[in-house]
Amino acid sequence: MNLINESDHQTVIPRSLSMGIVFWAVLGALAACAPAETENTSGAMGAAQVDARSTSQAIAGGPQLSPELPVNPVAASTVHHENTVVAAGNGLYLVVWREIAGPENGDILAIRVRASDGAWLDPNPIRVGTGNQSQWEPAVAFDGANFLVVWTDAANIPVIMGARVRASDGAVLDTPALYISRADMGPYQLPQFTPAVAFDGTNYLVTWYGYFYVNGPVFSGVQGIRVRPSDGTCIESTSFTIARGATSSRVAYADGKYLVAWEASGMAGATRVSAAG
């Protein structure tokens, strides 16, 4: 396009170009007013910036993060750790996880961690649930003296097992492990999975997803059973059904009742269970 008018020799700027010049001029003015950026060639926040942010959070009462605390020992490349859970009590935490050291087996391990400084209280992980078959999906709660660790155990068919770990010294109080998932039985033992556990001040409630018989036919759903902390025995002879057709239970306790939350048909639901069962 010719920008020179031959008759009067005045410069004529097309409207689209003039608008563009104005746009870039405005951007230039904004850039001049903006504060200078701190160069960070690594693309990540520098250490000084992290310290400054931590300081500002401390002043504002924000959450503070300690340096990362290694809990399980550095493992060989053939060892894998997963399913980590934790509970607290008496000035310490019990961190529980699954260790897979071979193609088939998986064991339930734990370690006590001092709350005040994150120091290990055990020289080596506590072997809570072990065996020739695989163990997985641990959960843990505290009763004031001991922790109850529960997990899915392959055994001959998946069942829920458990063991108490003494807080004072990390001793495993139940060997062999406790058999917990006492579902209604028929001609065959049915599989049980995915435990959860909470403590009400007197007893534990363990919940899980699994299969059970009802007058012949087999149903599935979330079941529960109470466990006595003093000796790990089940209070009910068989589990009770909490939510038929539900899976993936979680449980917490407050004010005389447990709340058991679960999933069913793509929806979330919950049921209250009295501490008296």
Confidence of residue 232 (pLDDT cuts 50, 70, 90): very high
At residue 110, the 3 state secondary structure works out as strand
Range(s) of the domain holding residue 89: 80-274
pLDDT at position 131 is 82
**For the chain, how many structural domains are there in total?**
1
Confidence of residue 61 (pLDDT cuts 50, 70, 90): confident
Unique residue bearing structure tokens 């641990």: 138
Write out the two tokens for 215: 């007058």
Out of 43-52, 132-141, 194-203, give the one with best mean pLDDT. Answer: 194-203
pLDDT at position 65 is 82
Residue 1 in any domain: the answer is no
Residue 40 in any domain: the answer is no
Q: What is the pTM assigned to this prediction?
A: 0.76
Task: Dump pLDDT digits (tens) for 87-127.
Answer: 999 999 999 999 987 666 789 999 999 999 999 999 999 99
Average pLDDT over residues 208-231: 96
Average pLDDT over residues 67-71: 75
- Side-by-side strand order, sheet with 159-166: 135-142, 146-153, 159-166, 178-179
Give the mean pLDDT of the chain. 81
Cα separation, 172 vs 96, in Å, equals: 13
pLDDT at position 98 is 92
Per DSSP, what are the bridge partners of residue 252? 259
Average pLDDT over residues 143-167: 96
Residue 26 in any domain: the answer is no
Confidence of residue 1 (pLDDT cuts 50, 70, 90): very low
Span between the terminal Cα atoms of the chain, in Å? 88
Are 212 and 239 contacting, i.e. CB atoms less than 8 angstroms apart? yes
pLDDT at position 163 is 98
Read off the DSSP letter of residue 55. Answer: H
Write out the two tokens for 68: 């990362």
Strands (E), the chain: 80-89, 92-100, 107-114, 126-129, 135-142, 146-153, 159-166, 178-179, 192-199, 204-213, 218-227, 240-244, 247-254, 257-264, 267-274
Give the type of residue at 115. A
Task: Dump pLDDT digits (tens) for 35-59.
Answer: 444 444 334 334 444 344 444 455 5
Residue 48 in any domain: the answer is no
Residue 30 in any domain: the answer is no
Residue 58 in any domain: the answer is no
Confidence of residue 68 (pLDDT cuts 50, 70, 90): confident
Could you tell me which residue, 186 or 202, shows the higher pLDDT? 202
Residue 150 in any domain: the answer is yes
Q: What percent of the chain is predicted at pLDDT more than 90? A: 61
pLDDT at position 156 is 84
CATH number at residue 227: 2.120.10.10
Q: Cis peptide leading into 176, omega within 30 of 0?
A: yes
